[in-house]
Structure 1
Amino acid sequence: MTRRSKTLVAEAEAPTFPAIPPAQVLPRLAALQTASTMELKQQWRELFGTEPPAFNRAYLQSRLAYRIQELAYGGLKPEIRARLEALGQQLDGGNVVLRRIRADNRPLPGTRLVREYNGVQHVVTVRADDFEYEGRPYRSLSAIARHITGTRWNGHAFFGLRGRSGA
């Protein structure tokens, strides 16, 4: 088999995905909101050429929305993909498991956390390296929660940060 025929075989085996006209992007994105989970999974098969992952509806919707736009407008340029991969290698040494773990679950510096406890409003300001409460620095939200309540608390739970995505 010559080099040219190998290329033709490889091209013939590559899956083809439907071209999406740009005029159909907005209606298709809107339709994702009302589609059933079964319909979302069928669209996944059509647009990705694989079985859908066992993730929640919101994940399927967001990935399908991206894929629809990618097929209509084009994806990332190869140079940008390569640059992102290189940055990922620098951050985690190529360990894809580490890429899925958020390194820092702290709120952004400048965020004000407000909690009412026993009828008193408590305000904490997130700083770059610590937290400020009543004009004093604290190393953790748990230390502040302990100061306020007199008992041990998980600081993220006390200030309502637990249970939200990314926290």
Structure 2
Amino acid sequence: MLRSYLRLVVFALGLLVGVQVPGFIEAYDRHVEARRLEAQEGLQGFRETARRFFSGDMAALVEHYRNSEDAVFQSDAQSIERLVERARILELEWRAMQGPWYARVWHLAFRADRSLIAEVWRSYHFQVLLSPAAIAWGLGCALVLAWLVELAGLLLFRLAGGRRHRSRRRRLA
């Protein structure tokens, strides 16, 4: 009986973890989009300068600042370069999050920017969504977790000599 309750607890835990997946994906997507728009806004003035004097080439603008005799411009070159790189990373992240659900999950699991994931995780609020996607994720995670725990328990039982006890019971019967 205790084993049945433990199975239910494992299943419920998997269900609760699984329903978080769509919420976290959505939170990550919103976070990346907001940061991307912020980065674009921050670069707007520099892009306008690059358009006017360097045919829109931001690298040429950064190089011009870097080669300037003025120490302030040289210092700003590094700042602008960081802004441009951040905007590029955010644009790539945003594009990756525009694909189908399985591509988004794969990207978040294996390719997403870890600093962005950490930012989202720190501000993420656990929630129980009842959308079809959340229910599907919840049931899928619950079944996989229950199956893995059951498999691990069976393996441990076999390693601990579970076979000998069965064969002894058969001999006694």
- TM surpasses 0.5: no
TM-score normalized with structure 1 length: 0.22
Q: Which has the higher helix share?
A: 2
Does 1 or 2 have the higher relative contact order (CA < 8 Å, sep 6+)? 2
Q: Which has the higher Rg, Structure 1 or Structure 2?
A: 2
Q: Which has the higher strand share?
A: 1
